[in-house]
Amino acid sequence: MNSATYRTEPKDPAGPDLTVAVSTLAADAGQLRLPLPHPRLRYLVLVQGGAFGADNFGAGRSDLEVVALDSFGLSRSRNAAMLRAQTPFLVFSDADIVLDVAGLLALADALRAAPELDFVAGWREDRLAAARPSRRRPHALSRRTAGRVCAPELMLRLEAVRRQGLGFDPEFGLGARHPLGEEYVFIADALAAGLRGRSLPVVAGRHPGESTGHRAPSPALWGARQAVLRRVFGPLAPLIRPLYAWRMRRQMRPGVGALLLDMGRFALGGRPGLRKED
């Protein structure tokens, strides 16, 4: 099922109902290429680290607002977007992402047609094609299934999020102490607050390179991944680490997976296993 056919309502609502919030550094803003204007879409470009005006994206676009932020860090930019957006729905993006307008509108239609949902998640084009068949079907988002969600896949019903006072944790995401996992942490907080979300097989866009959160584990990123697991699972995190290690075992450097499995055995009350080189 592709984004062009995943429509839940036959008619478009009157006026804009979706804000696309694009977070960027001033040094990277020049690579942003916005889609052509659409009556349902508004673009909010949040620039950190310097000035970058609306004229840089083309004059005369009434669907565009550019805001220079004094803050630093991706999560703080996302939070600023939630405060400024004036449409019912909000989706997050970055300067280097190529957006799929049909997919974004399909996700907004899905939220509009399902008032019991507070957020939905689509997919990046390449990751949907590579996903297991069970993941490509619509399914409820949970702490177990939401770890892969990233920009521009996550779309919020702003009224529900604001009612709960939710925001992105500034300790996570690019520019923060832990430079990944901000969407996962946000979704975990939303679920804990009683909000409900659903994954849909809809392409929201594509990313020309590899995201930080989807790189193979490395010494620089592994500490951040552990912090995400602690933040999402709390006291259960030691039990989750070996499961994560097993899932990522083919991408890990030699010895890292075995070490994490030992950590999991110890957390379960057993003794760390001995390897031949011990």
pLDDT in tens, 109-151: 999 999 999 999 999 999 898 898 988 999 999 999 999 999 9
The whole-number average pLDDT for the span 206-220 is 64
Q: Quote the pLDDT of residue 243.
A: 75
Residue 5 has pLDDT above 60, yes or no: no
Q: Cα separation of 246 and 62, whole Å?
A: 49
Supply the pLDDT for residue 57.
66
pLDDT digits (tens, 9 = 90+) for 40-84: 999 999 999 987 766 666 667 899 999 999 999 999 999 999 999
Task: Look at phi and psi of residue 165 and say left if phi exceeds 0, alpha if psi is from -120 to 50, else beta.
Answer: left
In the chain, CATH 3.90.550.10 covers: 18-214
One-letter amino acid at 33 equals R
Nearest to 16 by CA among 104, 80, 141, 120: 104
Separation in Å, CA 20 to CA 101, 219, 231: 10, 34, 27
244 vs 260: CA distance, rounded Å: 9
Q: How far is CA 48 from the centre of its chain?
A: 19
Residue owning tokens 């988002």: 141
Nearest residue to 169 via CA among 230, 231, 233, 118: 231
| pTM, full prediction | 0.84
199 closest CA partner among 148, 139, 149? 139
Note the helical H segments in the chain: 74-84, 101-113, 125-130, 133-136, 158-163, 182-192, 219-233, 237-247, 256-267
Q: Above 70 in pLDDT, residue 267?
A: no
Least confident of 129-138, 210-219, 232-241, 249-258: 249-258
Q: What's domain 18-214's superfamily in CATH?
A: Spore Coat Polysaccharide Biosynthesis Protein SpsA; Chain A (3.90.550.10)
Is 271 a residue whose pLDDT tops 60?
no
144-194 pLDDT, tens per residue? 999 999 999 999 999 999 999 999 999 999 999 999 999 999 999 999 999
pLDDT given for residue 115 in this prediction: 97
CA pair distance 198, 119, nearest whole angstrom: 7
